[in-house]
Chains A and B, each alone.
Chain A
Amino acid sequence: MYAYDELDRTLLNERVEEFRDQVKRRLSGELTEDEFKMLRLQNGVYLQLHAYMFRVAIPYGTLSSQQLRRLAHVARRYDRGYGHFTTRQNIQFNWIKLAELPDALAALAEVGIHSMQTSGNNTRNVTSDQWAGVAPGEIEDPRIWSELLRQYTTLHPEFSFLPRKFKFAITASAHDRAAIKVHDIGLRLHKNAQGETGFEVLVGGGLGRTPFIAKTIKPFVHGRDLLSYVEAILRVYNQYGRRDNIYKARIKILVHELGIEKFAAEVEEEWRAMGDSALTLDDAVIEEVRSRFSYPIYEKLPHMPEELKKAAHDAVFERWRRNSVFTHKVQGYAIVTVSLKPVGGPPGDATADQMDAIAELADKYSFGEIRVGHEQNLALPHVAKRDLPALFKALEKIGLATPNVNLISDIIACPGLDYCSLANARSIPIAQELTRRFANPETAELIGRLHINISGCINACGHHHVGHIGILGVEKNGEEFYQITIGGRADENAELGVLIGPAVPFGEVADVIEDIVEAYLALRGRPDELFVDAVKRLGVEPFRERVYATR
């Protein structure tokens, strides 16, 4: 966990009071909606179909049990008793009242949580690998750098009015769990030939209307130069990014139109001109941030405790353990993913009672720490393996032991037309129907790893472009239709999915997905060939034929 200092606390409290005054002036009519809109957006407040939506940042996906309890309190006291975890390590509340928002913000500020820059044309929440600090083989904890970036970008005056929103993601593992290649700037920690730690910097990734996979702009930037190099990128973007057309305003368009070489040359020139600036990080600053992260004092525990050996006879436990429990860097410990994808439930939603219960389990079994992943699940990052059977029982009791992590029913979905004012079609009912179709855990395991992503509009909050199967809702003559893509992926080998054919109506989507899965099972080269690998090998044609032969 990162411990905020007095400066952070003062900043949050001042921000709450500033927003309280802005809300008061809006409600009295002193501020018009036109004047107020930018202010509310910069505090994560959108207006959706039914109500205001309040988006709260969970920087680099790390939460304390105290913070999760406070989110539960906000859900219960100011909303309708639940929250929705998003694909960018945020949580959204769907029914908040503007008049009560300052009190909700104040309650969150008490535990160091805020909603600053979770919307608007500024730098957004810095996201990272939800297994940061505990993943085996990690170069180092990427949250140190995420926190440095968070501090640097928060209320940065030069980057508060960018041409468009701007998102960072950081990973320090070979396997990318942070989807860095679909971010405006993706950062991959690695070591160079001299053994020094630094970053591969990728730029211009993004989804939405015009999707692009990020390109490497510089293979190695030393840690001390991270902020200055990032500032050089942001300056070039701020100068040349288009403000005349919202659809062409993201940095991905600029990189695409200039070409990565020319864009890189502009950045390099800007960076060289900056020289050794105040942005060059000295070791003391890095160490100061590093020292504010606290880590558990792990016990020396056996790799295979007796409790786990005994529980292995329980097939239900074993199924959950197989897909929810992952290797920890410390022997005797495990990382546990808590699926927020129950059969028939809205993906990523958690009730206030569940949040409180998870906080309690985190205190009991995970040193009081919870992580939030972009797949819209939670994780308990430090669970002693001997406690896994007890944790499983406790999760079962609160409906959070669905054994489907990384399987077909572990669906990423945006709120869609049920909540969102931008959406053209519903996402959640499609996800719910698919989880029912693939509810049998044996079938799901037989299918193996398969990520379905659903977006209710072209803005792609459900990251449909990079789903192994992507589902995009569109509107045709007042009816909901869905385009299906296959072969996308969001990891270190990120690719955009390929459209398989004409959009299908709402009522046929689940049938189409079943057809695609059946085709895969018939066509895969061997039982462990993943769906996405089969698509890579075979192309989309066999799947297209299967889906459209009888339609």
Chain B
Amino acid sequence: MTSPLEQKIRISGPSIVTANRTFDGAVIYRNASQGWSTDLSEAAIVRTVAEARALLAESVADDIGAVGAYIAPVEINDGGKIKPGNLRELIRLRGVTIELPVLA
């Protein structure tokens, strides 16, 4: 499989790097302090291909902490709040769109 770093990077607006946490698979976002957060509002925002490539590179380098890092689009509203840029990321952030058989 092609490494994420060898894949062509295309971004058309503000983007973040997201992955899953290795020990439990939880959704995590790369922050500006070279760490991870489960809170999207703490994600580092990139706006150019060069920035995205650099953030992805440092994310992929953390092979112990995270699995499957990739760049995902986000939207930033007038108040500066970060929102997922597509349905897949919305579901990853908020969870399934259905009621779980057993309440969490």
Instruction: Indicate if the CB atoms of A99 and B64 lie closer than 8 Å.
Output: no
Cβ contacts A to B, 5 pairs, < 8 Å: A27-B22, A29-B64, A51-B26, A99-B24, A428-B96
- A47-B68, A349-B101 in contact; A98/B96 too (CB < 8 A)? no
Q: Report how far A296 CA is from B18 CA in the complex, Å.
A: 53
* Cross-chain contact of A49 among B67, B92, B104 (Cβ < 8 A): B92
Q: Report how far A48 CA is from B67 CA in the complex, Å.
A: 11
Per-position 1/0 for A251-288, Cβ under 8 A of B: 00000000000000000000000000000000000000
Given the complex, which residues of A lie within 8 Å of B20, measured CB to CB?
47, 51
User: In angstroms, how far is the closest chain B Cβ from the Cβ of A427?
Assistant: 10
Q: Name B45-104 residues within 8 Å CB distance of A.
A: 63-64, 67-68, 86-88, 91-92, 95-98, 100-102, 104
Q: Report how far A346 CA is from B27 CA in the complex, Å.
A: 23
Q: Report how far A52 CA is from B23 CA in the complex, Å.
A: 9
* Cross-chain contact of B67 among A33, A80, A349 (Cβ < 8 A): A33
Q: For A48, give the chain B residue with the smallest CB separation.
A: B25
A26 close to B (CB within 8 Å): yes
Instruction: Indicate if the CB atoms of B98 and A429 lie closer than 8 Å.
Output: yes
Q: How many residues of A contact B (CB 8 A)?
A: 34
Q: Report how far A417 CA is from B98 CA in the complex, Å.
A: 11
Instruction: Indicate if the CB atoms of A480 and B101 lie closer than 8 Å.
Output: no
Q: For B96, give the chain A residue with the smallest CB separation.
A: A418
Sample of 14 further A-B pairs with CB below 8 A, known A96-B25, A428-B96: A33-B67, A47-B20, A48-B25, A50-B26, A50-B92, A51-B20, A51-B26, A81-B101, A98-B24, A418-B98, A426-B97, A428-B98, A478-B86, A480-B87
* Cross-chain contact of B102 among A50, A80, A432 (Cβ < 8 A): A80
- A47-B68, A417-B91 in contact; A351/B101 too (CB < 8 A)? yes
Q: Report how far A32 CA is from B26 CA in the complex, Å.
A: 18
A-side interface mostly: mixed
A352 close to B (CB within 8 Å): yes
Given the complex, which residues of B lie within 8 Å of A99, measured CB to CB?
23-24
Instruction: Indicate if the CB atoms of B104 and A80 lie closer than 8 Å.
Output: yes
Per-position 1/0 for B1-43, Cβ under 8 A of A: 0000000000000000000101111110000000000000000
- A29-B63, A29-B64, A33-B67 in contact; A50/B25 too (CB < 8 A)? yes
Instruction: Indicate if the CB atoms of A80 and B97 lie closer than 8 Å.
Output: no
* Cross-chain contact of B101 among A28, A49, A82 (Cβ < 8 A): A82
Instruction: Indicate if the CB atoms of A81 and B102 lie closer than 8 Å.
Output: yes
State the 3 A-B residue pairs at the shortest beta-carbon distance, nearest first.
A81-B102, A51-B25, A97-B24
Given the complex, which residues of B lie within 8 Å of A199, measured CB to CB?
none
Instruction: Indicate if the CB atoms of B97 and A352 lie closer than 8 Å.
Output: no
